[in-house]
């Protein structure tokens, strides 16, 4: 290439064209697939060359030059959007039996008599990307991805290019209407897109889902515009005026307002549902879009509301997944991975094989018992299975294909990462590394967990980067993440100078980290990575203790198992003694306390944002239900939790109310002994209904 100063105007012109095209192509590779073909440093160099050229020859600056696009350089990422109503996920069933249990649970929760039928709407489960469309005054004002369910990404401009989606609604639509649905790509359109990608040398997509997601999550809206995307509506978010009393009515009304809808079937029994499932399964190959199951939803909206949600999924809906796909391949080796809490997990390395359109080369073997039970040995020919997003499994070994008598497999007695003893405690299935914090694998896994989506959610700190930064000593503990920028300023080898990095990606990384210096208490607790403390439990703890100071104080006090703090911890519904042991064990360790203190010097913790309990007379109160109520115990509990109350399993002096139904026994007595306020069911109902006046 000529140097800038050797070029004549004509050459400069043609180099400019070349560069602009190349940068656009790399933008596409980067934003479409999250899979750049060149390093950030190389990309930055291209942009700099372009900028230099334009400085020399200002006449080259045109409206569509990459230098004129949003800001100086495209920033990776979209603005965040907080969902007015969370966008949750679906539970799964895989068999008639599990489907029957789903229906039974609903019947029990609602205390419906055996002869009352539960109307269910069955609709296809199209695999794409979920999206919430928000209309205000009949106009599409915002479109957002699901994200972590509470906060998604603003993709309004991209979504406006999807022809299927109306930009305005008729006058009779509510003032505020959120339509949740799926953006997807049809089979034929997917094939055609991949053909074009192939011809133009661009990367092809593995499946229609990836193609849809990649096409929507484009900073360059022009690219989204060219992609054949479709949409169908499957649920509502926030709505200013209710307009339906059943899911059926919702779908029909949405259709009248111009929102695309798929076909659906109304079923009234398990038999109906199974028949419908069979017929959809049979028609699957003829559909012009790919589906991975059937979604069932309770038709009555008042029932949906009563049923509510458990953890991340509604009780009133489930997905009936199609049978998993299987394939036969060779198990070449067994590797051992060390998890965050030291668990050794054997992983099968397989001869790569395509299962349902996806190449599989690893499968989990779970633990030693599983290997023994299936008699899995290295070199075996095995049947593997892949169901949806679940990690592939080894189903069985084809024993007649076994060559000779290879030795049976035993997990090692020492940790492959740190060499510490690995032991399996009495009554446990897992073998664990005893190295604790000296084990680099555990520390890296903890860091990975710390930045993961439901924890600190730091974009840009992927698994590989964490591993590398840990190995180089840049990040050893969570607090180091927040000191990275400061240290980088003084560093002789700054991050931007590394292979695969550049000014832009360095800047973005620090921006992503700094954006998380304010973090919600529930995310913070979850991020600590304490054994057994998952996302839902972290949320319960955050709701119970409200602030980080209270939480830490309570954990310290509860070290004494005789204390009230301990009693109220284990009285929390869903926290048993074993979970309490893990939780308290974490706080008992000096090292953990140091890490925590260090971290608290870097971040500030927002008190837990309890879901929609404004004006609730029982928000933050601790209740105990006892005796027989007119609704099921699960419903009573769910209802109280929706109002921000905490439901405990046993009565203590911290209990605010005991709600006593018929035939209440020892808990009622204890409440009276302790002087805790006792309410009858009627008194309880009138208390919580006050807020609706
Ligand atoms: S209902 C609270 N209905 O599947 C309601 N979801 O695995 C939750 N999906 O996140 C969603 N087709 O992206 C619903 N007919 C359908 C669906 C559907 C596809 C997707 C959706 C959801 C995911 C859950």
Angle, alpha carbons 176-179-181 (nearest 5°):
170
- Answer for the pair 308, 638: CB distance below 8 angstroms, yes or no: yes
Rounded distance between C-alpha atoms, residue 120 and residue 272, angstroms? 10
pLDDT band of residue 1 (cuts 50, 70, 90) is: very low
Can you tell me which atom of ligand 1 is nearest the CA of 130? 13
Q: Is the CB of 126 under 6 A from ligand 1?
A: yes
DSSP 343: B
89 C-alpha vs ligand 1 centroid, how far in Å? 7
* CATH fold for the domain made of 519-606: DNA polymerase; domain 1 (1.10.150)
Residue ranges covered by each domain of the chain: 80-321, 519-606, 622-692
Question: How far, CA to CA in Å, does 381 sit from each of 16, 189, 192, 398, 400?
Answer: 56, 37, 37, 6, 9
Q: Is the CB of 267 under 6 A from ligand 1?
A: no
pLDDT band of residue 28 (cuts 50, 70, 90) is: low
Q: Is the CB of 644 under 6 A from ligand 1?
A: no
Rounded distance between C-alpha atoms, residue 248 and residue 232, angstroms? 15
Number of CB atoms found within 10 A of residue 604's CB: 10
Instruction: Specify the residue with its C-alpha closest to ligand 1, atom 12.
Output: 125
165 C-alpha vs ligand 1 centroid, how far in Å? 18
Q: Is the CB of 219 under 6 A from ligand 1?
A: no
How do residues 288-321 score in pLDDT, each as one tens digit?
A: 898 989 999 999 999 999 999 887 789 999 999 8
**pLDDT at 558 exceeding the cut of 80:** yes
Q: Is the CB of 512 under 6 A from ligand 1?
A: no
Higher-confidence position of 66 and 377: 377
- Mutate which of 146, 311, 319 for ligand 1 pocket (most atoms within 8 A of beta carbon): 319
Nearest Cα neighbor of 335 from 324, 323, 315, 350 is: 350
Q: Is the CB of 88 under 6 A from ligand 1?
A: yes
CATH number of the structural domain 622-692:
3.40.50.10190
Q: Is the CB of 123 under 6 A from ligand 1?
A: yes
Q: Is the CB of 130 under 6 A from ligand 1?
A: yes
pLDDT band of residue 520 (cuts 50, 70, 90) is: very high
393 C-alpha vs ligand 1 centroid, how far in Å? 25
pLDDT band of residue 280 (cuts 50, 70, 90) is: very high
Number of CB atoms found within 10 A of residue 321's CB: 19
Q: Is the CB of 664 under 6 A from ligand 1?
A: no
Rounded distance between C-alpha atoms, residue 49 and residue 386, angstroms? 47
pLDDT band of residue 30 (cuts 50, 70, 90) is: low
**How high is the pLDDT of residue 311?**
72
86 C-alpha vs ligand 1 centroid, how far in Å? 13
Can you tell me which atom of ligand 1 is nearest the CA of 127? 19
Residues 373, 376, 382, 388: is their CA dihedral positive or negative? positive
Beta strands in 390-549 (DSSP E): 393-397, 422-423, 432-433, 518-520
119 C-alpha vs ligand 1 centroid, how far in Å? 19
| Pairing relationship of beta strands 622-626 and 657-660 according to DSSP bridges | parallel
653 C-alpha vs ligand 1 centroid, how far in Å? 43
Higher-confidence position of 650 and 36: 650
Mean pLDDT, range 32-43, rounded to an integer: 61
Q: Is the CB of 319 under 6 A from ligand 1?
A: yes
Q: At what angle do helices 548-557 and 577-588 cross, to 10 degrees?
A: 100
**How high is the pLDDT of residue 75?**
34
How do residues 459-499 score in pLDDT, each as one tens digit?
A: 889 999 999 999 999 999 999 999 999 999 988 889 999 98
Rounded distance between C-alpha atoms, residue 228 and residue 246, angstroms? 32
Output the average pLDDT for the chain.
Answer: 89
How do residues 2-23 score in pLDDT, each as one tens digit?
A: 455 567 878 888 888 888 888 8
- Answer for the pair 640, 633: CB distance below 8 angstroms, yes or no: no
Rounded distance between C-alpha atoms, residue 336 and residue 334, angstroms? 7
Instruction: Specify the residue with its C-alpha closest to ligand 1, atom 3.
Output: 234
DSSP 336: E
**How high is the pLDDT of residue 641?**
84
Instruction: Specify the residue with its C-alpha closest to ligand 1, atom 14.
Output: 234
Question: How far, CA to CA in Å, does 115 sit from each of 107, 118, 544, 569, 630?
Answer: 10, 9, 40, 42, 19
pLDDT band of residue 607 (cuts 50, 70, 90) is: confident
Q: Is the CB of 261 under 6 A from ligand 1?
A: no
**How high is the pLDDT of residue 692?**
47
Can you tell me which atom of ligand 1 is nearest the CA of 182? 13
- Answer for the pair 460, 508: CB distance below 8 angstroms, yes or no: yes
- Mutate which of 123, 130, 294 for ligand 1 pocket (most atoms within 8 A of beta carbon): 130
Rounded distance between C-alpha atoms, residue 451 and residue 475, angstroms? 12
How do residues 611-653 score in pLDDT, each as one tens digit?
A: 656 678 888 889 999 999 988 888 898 888 888 888 888 888 8
226 C-alpha vs ligand 1 centroid, how far in Å? 25
**How high is the pLDDT of residue 171?**
95
Q: Is the CB of 92 under 6 A from ligand 1?
A: no
517 C-alpha vs ligand 1 centroid, how far in Å? 32
Mean pLDDT, range 671-677, rounded to an integer: 92
Percent over 70 (pLDDT), the chain: 93
Q: Catalytic site residue 125?
A: yes
Rounded distance between C-alpha atoms, residue 420 and residue 291, angstroms? 47
**pLDDT at 112 exceeding the cut of 70:** yes
- Mutate which of 93, 121, 182 for ligand 1 pocket (most atoms within 8 A of beta carbon): 182
Whole-prediction pTM value? 0.67
**How high is the pLDDT of residue 665?**
86
85 C-alpha vs ligand 1 centroid, how far in Å? 15
- Mutate which of 93, 125, 248 for ligand 1 pocket (most atoms within 8 A of beta carbon): 125
358 C-alpha vs ligand 1 centroid, how far in Å? 21
Q: Is the CB of 93 under 6 A from ligand 1?
A: no
90 C-alpha vs ligand 1 centroid, how far in Å? 6
Q: Is the CB of 90 under 6 A from ligand 1?
A: yes
**How high is the pLDDT of residue 3?**
54
From 9, 80, 125, 670, the catalytic residue:
125
Chain centre to alpha carbon of residue 466: 20
The burial of 113, by beta-carbon neighbours within 10 Å (0-12 exposed, 13-18 middle, 19 or more buried), is given as exposed
Higher-confidence position of 513 and 323: 513
**How high is the pLDDT of residue 161?**
94
Mean pLDDT, range 143-156, rounded to an integer: 90
Q: Is the CB of 234 under 6 A from ligand 1?
A: yes
Task: List the structure tokens of 118.
Answer: 């539960």
Instruction: Specify the residue with its C-alpha closest to ligand 1, atom 21.
Output: 130
How do residues 179-235 score in pLDDT, each as one tens digit?
A: 999 999 999 999 999 999 888 888 888 788 889 998 998 888 888 999 999 999 999
Query: CB within 8 A of 339, min separation 6: which ones?
Result: 345, 442, 445
Q: Is the CB of 295 under 6 A from ligand 1?
A: yes
227 C-alpha vs ligand 1 centroid, how far in Å? 22
The burial of 370, by beta-carbon neighbours within 10 Å (0-12 exposed, 13-18 middle, 19 or more buried), is given as middle
| Pairing relationship of beta strands 344-355 and 317-321 according to DSSP bridges | unpaired
Same fold, 80-321 and 519-606: no
Instruction: Specify the residue with its C-alpha closest to ligand 1, atom 15.
Output: 125
**pLDDT at 689 exceeding the cut of 70:** yes
**How high is the pLDDT of residue 2?**
44
How do residues 399-446 score in pLDDT, each as one tens digit?
A: 999 989 999 999 999 999 999 999 999 988 999 999 988 999 999 999
How do residues 39-92 score in pLDDT, each as one tens digit?
A: 666 776 787 788 888 888 878 877 677 766 533 233 357 888 999 899 988 999
- Answer for the pair 678, 627: CB distance below 8 angstroms, yes or no: no
Higher-confidence position of 608 and 507: 507
Q: Is the CB of 668 under 6 A from ligand 1?
A: no
- Mutate which of 234, 297, 314, 318 for ligand 1 pocket (most atoms within 8 A of beta carbon): 234
The verdict on domain 80-321 having CATH code 1.10.3720.10 is no
pLDDT band of residue 585 (cuts 50, 70, 90) is: very high
């Amino acid at each position: 290439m000529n140097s800038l100063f050797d070029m004549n105007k004509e050459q400069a012109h043609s180099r400019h064209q070349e560069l602009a095209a190349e940068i656009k192509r790399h933008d596409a590779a980067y934003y479409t697939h999250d899979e750049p073909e060149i390093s950030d440093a190389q990309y930055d160099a291209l942009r700099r060359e372009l900028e230099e050229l334009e400085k020399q020859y200002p006449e080259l600056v045109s409206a569509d030059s990459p230098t004129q696009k949003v800001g100086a350089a495209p920033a990776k990422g979209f603005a965040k959007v907080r969902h007015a109503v969370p966008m949750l996920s679906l539970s799964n069933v895989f068999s008639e039996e599990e489907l029957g249990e789903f229906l039974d649970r609903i019947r029990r929760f609602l205390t419906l008599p055996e002869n009352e039928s539960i109307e269910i709407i069955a609709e296809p489960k199209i695999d794409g990307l979920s999206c919430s469309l928000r209309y205000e005054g009949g106009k599409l004002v915002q479109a957002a991805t699901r994200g972590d369910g509470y906060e998604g990404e603003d993709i309004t401009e991209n979504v406006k290019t999807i022809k299927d989606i109306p930009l305005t609604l008729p006058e009779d639509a509510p003032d505020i209407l959120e339509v949740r649905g799926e953006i997807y790509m049809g089979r034929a359109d997917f094939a055609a897109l991949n053909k074009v990608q192939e011809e133009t040398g661009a990367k092809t997509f593995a499946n229609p889902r990836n193609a849809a997601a990649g096409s929507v999550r484009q900073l360059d809206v022009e690219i989204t515009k060219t992609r054949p995307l479709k949409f169908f509506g499957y649920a509502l978010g926030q709505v200013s005026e209710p307009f339906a009393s059943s899911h059926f009515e919702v779908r029909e009304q949405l259709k009248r307002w111009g929102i695309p809808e798929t076909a659906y079937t109304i079923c009234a029994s398990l038999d109906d549902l199974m028949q419908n499932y069979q017929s959809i399964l049979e028609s699957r190959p003829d559909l012009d879009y790919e589906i991975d199951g059937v979604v069932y939803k309770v038709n009555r909206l008042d029932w949906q509301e009563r049923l509510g949600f458990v953890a991340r999924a509604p009780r009133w809906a489930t997905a009936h997944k199609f049978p998993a796909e299987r394939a036969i391949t060779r198990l070449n080796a067994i590797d051992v991975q060390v998890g965050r809490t030291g668990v050794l997990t054997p992983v099968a390395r397989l001869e790569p094989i395509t299962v349902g359109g996806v190449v599989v080369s690893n499968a989990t073997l779970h633990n030693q018992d599983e290997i023994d039970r299936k008699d899995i040995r290295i070199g075996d020919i095995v049947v593997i299975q892949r169901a949806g997003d679940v990690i592939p499994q080894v189903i069985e070994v084809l024993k007649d294909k076994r060559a000779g008598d290879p030795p049976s497999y035993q997990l090692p007695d020492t940790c492959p990462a740190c060499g510490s003893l690995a032991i399996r405690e009495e009554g446990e299935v897992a073998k664990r590394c005893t190295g604790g914090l000296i084990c680099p694998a555990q520390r890296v896994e903890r860091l990975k967990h710390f930045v993961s989506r439901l924890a600190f959610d730091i974009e840009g700190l992927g698994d590989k980067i964490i591993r590398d930064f840990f190995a180089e000593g840049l990040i050893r503990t969570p607090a180091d993440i927040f000191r990275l920028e400061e240290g980088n300023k003084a560093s002789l080898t700054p991050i931007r100078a590394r292979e695969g990095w550049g000014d832009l990606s360095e800047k973005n990384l620090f921006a992503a980290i700094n954006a998380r210096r304010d973090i919600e208490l529930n995310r913070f607790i979850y991020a600590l990575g304490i054994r057994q403390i998952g996302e839902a439990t972290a949320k319960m703890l955050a709701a119970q203790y409200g602030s980080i100071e209270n939480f830490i104080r309570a954990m310290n006090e509860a070290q004494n198992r005789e204390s009230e703090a301990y009693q109220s911890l284990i009285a929390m519904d869903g926290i048993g003694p074993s979970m309490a042991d893990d939780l308290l064990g974490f706080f008992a360790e000096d090292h953990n306390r140091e890490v925590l203190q260090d971290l608290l010097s870097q971040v500030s913790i927002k008190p837990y944002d309890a879901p929609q309990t404004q004006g609730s007379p029982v928000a933050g109160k601790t209740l105990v239900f006892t005796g027989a109520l007119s609704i099921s115990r699960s419903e009573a509990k769910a209802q109280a939790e929706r109002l921000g109350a905490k439901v405990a399993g046993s009565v203590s002096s911290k209990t605010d109310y005991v709600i006593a139904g018929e035939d209440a026994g020892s808990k009622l007595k204890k409440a009276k002994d302790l002087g805790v306020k006792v309410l009858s069911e009627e008194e309880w109902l009138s208390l919580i209904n006050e807020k609706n006046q």
